[in-house]
Amino acid sequence: MANTLLGERGILGVFVMLPMQVSAEDFPTFITGLRALKNFGGAVVSMPHKIATANLIDELTPEARLVGAVNVIRRNGDGCLIGTMLDGEGFVSGLVAAGHCVKGARILLVGAGGAASAIAFALAKHGCASLCIQNRTLDRASALSERVRHAYPHLEVSTAIQATSHYDIAVNGTSLGMKADDDLPISKSFIGCCDLIADCVIAPEMTKLLQEAANQGKAIQTGVPMLAAQMALMLAFMGAE
């Protein structure tokens, strides 16, 4: 997607995006190496490195500082690495472009990692009526809820699902769905309590969660619009204009 945009702008070759697979164990060393790579302009950071990146680079934008995670970095000429977070705005932009409304919506968010955190703050910023955050580790869900509540004190934020709960939008902000044998992040029975099921997983585009939701006649949103909405912003941040 990035290289297609660079080609359309006539600057593919001046800039090119390459995939780099790095283990969590080697990630700090990898970041150190990027400082020394003089023809490195920037990088898009994916799971599971978004939170770690925020603690390894030199400077964070206000958005990244609020979320505590980074999904794109750039290298200045002096080797300084600066990071921002665009997952949240990208997710909301993708929803709006598809004709869905965040303002006034009751939303369930599954996950409390870097992407989920960014989405939580963006949903609050864009005026959702309530936000329920679920995570396999309750402490992380509670911590994210407190941070969102502190930034948006008038928003109804919780970590508890009631028996009568109904949500306009349910969001998978976890990596569940990337592997064929992953559990569903939202149970089959609870999908029926949600009008729209949105996933942040990009590959496969049609996850088991979305397929199940479609089978139940629910509206769905894949993870691709979130990335597409961000890509031009990411390239601009990295200096590829």
Catalytic annotation, residues:
50
Hunting for tokens 């955190």 — which residue is that?
117
What tokens does 146 get?
């407190």
Alpha-carbon distance 128 to 24, whole Å? Answer: 34
Task: Give the C-alpha distances (Å, rounded to integers) separating 237 from 85, 189, 230.
Answer: 10, 42, 10
- For the record, the structure tokens of 96 come out as 């709006």
Strands 219-221 and 130-134: unpaired
How many residues are present in the chain? Answer: 241
